[in-house]
Amino acid sequence: MLIELRGVSKVFTNPRTGKGLVALNDVTLEVGEGEFLCLIGPSGCGKSTALNLLAGFEASTGGDVLFQGKRVTAPSPKRGVVFQESSLFPWMTVLQNVTFSLQGEDGREGKEAKAMEYLRMVGLADFARSRPSELSGGMKQRVAIARALAMDPDVLLMDEPFGSLDEQTRRKLDNEVLSLWKREGKTIIFVTHSIDEALILGTRVVLMCASPGRISREWKVDMPWPRDPSSPRMVRLKEEMIRGLQTCSCAATAPRPSFISIGNEVNGTEVGK
């Protein structure tokens, strides 16, 4: 297994009051190589926290976070991260932003050639000498993706990467990420609170609920791309997810983790049965 969360908990302690907030409680998740996993759920259910633990930005307070069978203790270029805001250095050019994070013995020219290869891949080769302030929001996110890919990660962790963009740009970038995923064969974990986006993209969709943050349900989506959101199977799946989200708001009655395969028309079996 490429990535595993095993019984993971994360409690944030308020240094002033000493009170703890359980952001994640007993979260278990396995992600295999080549998956495109979408994490959905209401605000505050711990999606970003889970991603930060996987990235190595935060440490869990219980359980194990494993990458390629080893405990995650620090960030690694093997796990590229793309945030909602592009987090580019404003004083650097686009090219410098991408080369900055490249390690290895390629020298400056080698690094620039590599960075250009990924800028071409995201359609921004002509903007290599521009500053981030000269780019639109969507273009900045493309640079962030090129920067993450240039490090040749095994997994891309994307935290609502297109959440602040208009609908049209978001759809376009969703399709670009899908093409990159297919071509590059990377594993992607993609946080979104849009069911539609998760349904268009994911091979699997995992629903998290809040108070405490936990995994509630998951769906395998084994339908080919491009997916038609109005197809009966997609509509059925979307309804399932909306119902799941509605149940989410009531922690006491949240359903047990379950698995539903819609893609092959087989009604789901519950995990653990």
Under the rule (CB under 6 A), what is the footprint of ligand ADP? 12, 21, 23, 41, 43-49, 213
Q: Tokens at residue 128, please?
A: 């290599």
What are the angstrom distances between the C-alpha of 262 and each of 36, 64, 228, 239?
16, 31, 14, 12
Shortest distance in whole angstroms from residue 44 CB to ligand ADP = 4
Nearer to ligand ADP, 49 or 141 (CB): 49
Nearer to ligand ADP, 49 or 97 (CB): 49
Whether residue 254 contacts residue 243, with contact meaning beta carbons closer than 8 Å, is answered with no
Nearer to ligand ADP, 159 or 176 (CB): 159
For residue 62, which amino acid is it? Answer: G
Nearer to ligand ADP, 62 or 268 (CB): 62
Shortest distance in whole angstroms from residue 188 CB to ligand ADP = 17
Residue 82, H or E segment: strand 79-82
| Residue 84 burial (C-beta neighbours within 10 Å; 0-12, 13-18, 19+) | middle
Shortest distance in whole angstroms from residue 28 CB to ligand ADP = 17
Q: Residue 152 half-sphere exposure, CB side, CA atoms within 13 Å?
A: 6
Shortest distance in whole angstroms from residue 52 CB to ligand ADP = 7
Compute the radius of gyration of the chain from its Cα atoms.
19
Cis geometry, peptide bond prior to residue 232 (ω within 30 degrees of 0):
no
Shortest distance in whole angstroms from residue 51 CB to ligand ADP = 8
Shortest distance in whole angstroms from residue 94 CB to ligand ADP = 28
Nearer to ligand ADP, 25 or 258 (CB): 25
- What is the spatial distance between Cα 176 and Cα 224, in angstroms, rounded to a whole number? 16
Nearer to ligand ADP, 41 or 244 (CB): 41
